[in-house]
Amino acid sequence: MNNEMKMEFDAISANESFARVAVAAFVSELDPTLEEISDIKTAVSEAVTNAIIHGYDGIENGKVKLYCGLDKDVIHIRISDEGRGIEDVEKAMEPLFTTKPELNRSGMGFPFMEAFMDDLEVISGPGEGTTVLMKKKIGCIPWIEDEE
C-alpha cells in the first residue's frame, strides 16, 4: 500500500456523511473524476448505514471501523462492525431483500455497492459482526461514454 488511513467512530447516523466525506477526501490524491467520487461515497454510505441499522440494531455504544488503503491506482476500503452479523449473506445481497421494510429500507444497499465498486466481499456470520471489503480502480476510461 502506498498510503493508508484508519478510523473508528460511533455507530450513529450523523456519522454516515462524515465517513463518506472522509473517504472521498482520502482518495482525492488519485485524482478521481466526480463520477468516481460519487460512486465511492454511495458505496461507503451503504456499508456504514448497514453497520449502524442492522449490525448494531438494538445494541448500544457500537463502533464502526473504517480502513482505506491506496495501492497504486486502486482504493481498498474495509468497513467493519462487531454487531449481530448476517445469517445468510447471499440472501442479504439479493436486490430488494430487506429485513427492515418498516424503516423504508429499499434492499438496494449491497446491489449499489456491487454496482459502484469493482470488487465486493462480505464476511459475516451470526454474532460475529460484519466486514465489507471493496475495491475500485481509479482513472479507468469508461468504454462507453456517459450520455451527458
Partner 1 sequence: MEEDFKVIDNYLMVKMPEEIDHHKSSYISENADRFIVRENVSNVVFDFEDTRFMDSSGIGIIMGRYKKISCFGGKVFAINADHRIRRLLMISGLHKIVEIMD
> Least separation, in Å, of the C-beta of 30 and partner 1?
20
92 secondary structure, DSSP code: H
C-beta of 38 vs 65, nearer to partner 1: 38
Ordered DSSP codes for 8-26: EEES-TTHHHHHHHHHHHH
17 vs 28, beta carbon nearer partner 1: 17
Contact status, residue 9 vs residue 19, Cβ threshold 8 Å: yes
Options 20, 36, 50, 78, the catalytic residue: 50
Annotation marks residue 50 as catalytic: yes
Name which of 121, 130, 133 is nearest 50 in CA terms.
130
- Residue 104 designated active-site: no
> DSSP class of residue 89?
H
Stretch that binds partner 1, among 44-52, 58-66, 120-128, 132-140 (CB under 8 A): 44-52
Mark the segment that binds partner 1 (CB under 8 A) among 63-71, 81-89, 103-111, 135-143: 103-111
Q: Which of 67, 99, 112, 137 binds partner 1 (CB under 8 A)?
A: 112
Cβ(146)–Cβ(97) below 8 Å:
no
Please pick, from the candidates 55, 83, 85, 109, the single residue that binds partner 1 as defined by CB under 8 A. Answer: 109
Residue 134 touches partner 1, criterion: CB under 8 A: no
* Contact call for residues 18 and 45 (beta carbons, < 8 A): no
C-alpha cell at 1: 500500500
Contact 45, 12 (CB under 8 A): no
User: Applying CB under 8 A, which part among 2-10, 41-49, 83-91, 133-141 lies near partner 1?
Assistant: 41-49
Residues assigned a catalytic role: 46, 50, 105
